Structure 1
Amino acid sequence: MLSPEIAAYYERGGEHERLAAGAGRLEFLRTWDVLARVLPPAPARIVDVGGATGVYAGPLAEAGYTVRVVDPVPAHVAAAGALPGVSAVQGDARDLPEPGASADAVLLFGPLYHLPERADRITAWREAARVVRPGGVVAGAVISRFASLLDGFVRGYHAEPEFPPIVRRALRDGVHRNADGQSRWFTSAYFHRPEEPAAEATGAGLAGARTVAVEGPAWLTGPRLTEFLADERLTGIMLDLLRAVEDEPSLLGASSHLLTIAHRPAP
């Protein structure tokens, strides 16, 4: 289901802590902010595809949802399945081990950026549309086409000669791939242009697809972001302002991640 390179990257265990601090923490808070506005109320049933170690599944279960994680990495399945109120199974986003119309919402927060072929991504969207009930919500996360370009400036990666060619290819065709096949920065992935995920969701038969920025440009502030996140008042101001511009077209490409929300048409 996953290439050996991608599987090895996730088997290192980075997903356990990735969303705990800095830009990762902002990603979590903003994603949760969007979910709170688009998900049906608990105790709805949610299928979390590519849910990793349950970083969203755990809080959703605590909030009263019934959550099923589907992930291709055995260690992720074990970790998520150990969380209270969460069940987990190994599976592929393109062939979900779930009955049709069995969920009130489906989350695609992992698979879309590890499917480099558009046909495979549409298949994943289509599987989510099959599993969700008519009128139910499907939300998919992607990485922005410009994420590695901007991250290279924030973290100083462009000073390393191997990095700019990787960025140039991602800018050209969306494919992020390390030259030596090793996951030195991030593993192999597909980076979406802002207009792509909504078009893919629509192509899979979903309706009302809209895309919002997750971190917006705030993730580029480096140490200042840590200061904001350490202050509850400043965090609240930041989240309020990012919510106000989350669907501003001119800012979508400045976000590291994008969320696309759609629904299965009712009969």
Structure 2
Amino acid sequence: MVQREILDYYLRGGERDRLSAGAGRLEFLRTWDVLVRALPEAPADVLDVGGATGVYAKPLAEAGYRVTVVDPVGEHVAVAGALPGVSAVRGDARDLPAEDASADAVLLFGPLYHLQDRSERVAAWREAARVVRPGGLVVAATISRFASMFDGFVKGFYRDPEFRPVVEQALADGRHSNPGGVPRWFTSAYFHRPEETAGEVADAGLRLSRVVSVEGPLWMSSSALADFLDEPSLLLEMLRRVEEEPSLLGASSHLLTVAVR
């Protein structure tokens, strides 16, 4: 269902606290900001595919949505399923355990950047298209093609001579792979160009609504973000104004693609 390297990364807690501090907190706040503006009003049925331990499922359920998490990691399913108002099931984005037209919205916040082959990413999009109702939304997260290149400067990874070849490969074809299959820098992944999801959406029979930057370039200034994240209204307001600006999309670490059935 999922590569052993990817499974090991998540079992070690690689993502457990990432969205609660610094640039990760900015990612969460901005993703939530886009969601509350895009999703239909609660109550509605939301399928959170790759939802892990329920970092988005929890606030969605608290807001009145009927949320089901689908995740390939059994430990994630157990944690998410224990959250009030959230159900959870083990499953794969390419073969969802859900009925046709059974959700008002489908979130793909994990699967696409762990599928290095385009055919598998399109399969995930098609499954989302199958289970969402006509007029419903599919909202998908991707990692920018240029994220690891910038991250190497932010976090000092270039001090290790093995890091640059990882970046060069990602820049060339989007494939992020660690030397020897050991997840030293994230784990096996695919990094999208900003314009790339449009073709995947079209091949899945969905209509592209918008592609937005999540953090913009501010994620590279995480040490200066603390004050703004504690009082995020100004930060969110300004980032909304430029979230679809084409010249800034590639500078964001993450992108969200919104598509409609």
TM-score, scaled relative to structure 2: 0.98
The count of aligned residue pairs is 261
CA RMSD of aligned residues (A): 0.8
1:246 to 243, 249, 252: 243
- 1:113 maps to 113
Q: Match of 2:249, as an amino acid? A: L
**Aligned-pair distance for 1:16?**
2.4
**Aligned-pair distance for 1:99?**
0.1
Distance in 1 between residues matched to 2:132 and 2:210, nearest whole Å: 18
Alpha-carbon contact 2:228-2:234 (below 8 Å) kept: no
Q: Match of 2:58, as an amino acid? A: G
**Aligned-pair distance for 1:106?**
0.3
- 1:38 maps to 38
**Aligned-pair distance for 1:210?**
1.8
Structure 2 portions without partners, runs of 5+: none
Distance in 1 between residues matched to 2:202 and 2:35, nearest whole Å: 20
Confirm or deny that 1:146 pairs with 2:146: yes
Structure 1 portions without partners, runs of 5+: none
Confirm or deny that 1:258 pairs with 2:232: no
- Write out per-residue CA displacement over residues 33-78 of structure 1, whole angstroms, 9 at most, x where no aligned residue: 0001110000100000000000000000000000000000011101
- 1:85 maps to 85
Q: Match of 1:206, as an amino acid? A: L
How is 1:48-59 mapped onto 2 (pairs within 5 angstroms)? 48-59=48-59
**Aligned-pair distance for 1:188?**
0.4
Identical columns (%): 69
Which stretches of structure 1, 4 residues or longer, exceed 2 Å deviation after superposition? none
Distance in 2 between residues matched to 1:101 and 1:63, nearest whole Å: 22
Alpha-carbon contact 1:112-1:124 (below 8 Å) kept: yes
TM-score, scaled relative to structure 1: 0.96
Alpha-carbon contact 2:104-2:137 (below 8 Å) kept: yes
Distance in 2 between residues matched to 1:143 and 1:208, nearest whole Å: 18
- 2:66 maps to 66
Q: Match of 1:75, as an amino acid? A: E
Distance in 1 between residues matched to 2:179 and 2:136, nearest whole Å: 41
Distance in 1 between residues matched to 2:257 and 2:229, nearest whole Å: 25
- 1:7 maps to 7
